[in-house]
Structure 1
Amino acid sequence: MDRVEVLEERVAHLMRAVEELSDVVARQAGEIAGLERRVRLLMERAAEEEALRGEAPEANVRPPHW
């Protein structure tokens, strides 16, 4: 194999790796978006339940060291 063929082979492997990683990143971005929606809904639900009980949400309570 001459040097050009070796470089072409390396480039082909790198291009395949980049495409595979791009697919993984795209899939993970979709999963993250779905998880963010679920967390937001859970936080809203928790805030509504706390409001019904008359409690302040944990995020609005200052820590004891303040």
Structure 2
Amino acid sequence: MKNMGSLDRIIRLILGLVLIAGGLVFQVQSGHLWWLVLPGALMVITSSVGVCPAYIPFKLSTKKKD
């Protein structure tokens, strides 16, 4: 069951893409920030699926109730 609202998904998608881009750009320049790509990818995946696994144990949801 989806537990992420539209705003949550949009913010995660943008932040995830920024982390991925930043990690790839700075990896080329300094060779140290490759680890930014993994959390960025996880944010993009959770945004596209609409489910945040961290919300499940706490029964949280940012999705609007209809």
Please report the TM-score for the alignment, with normalisation by the length of structure 2: 0.41
Please report the TM-score for the alignment, with normalisation by the length of structure 1: 0.41
Structure number with greater CO (CA < 8 Å, separation at least 6) is 2
- Higher Cα radius of gyration: 1
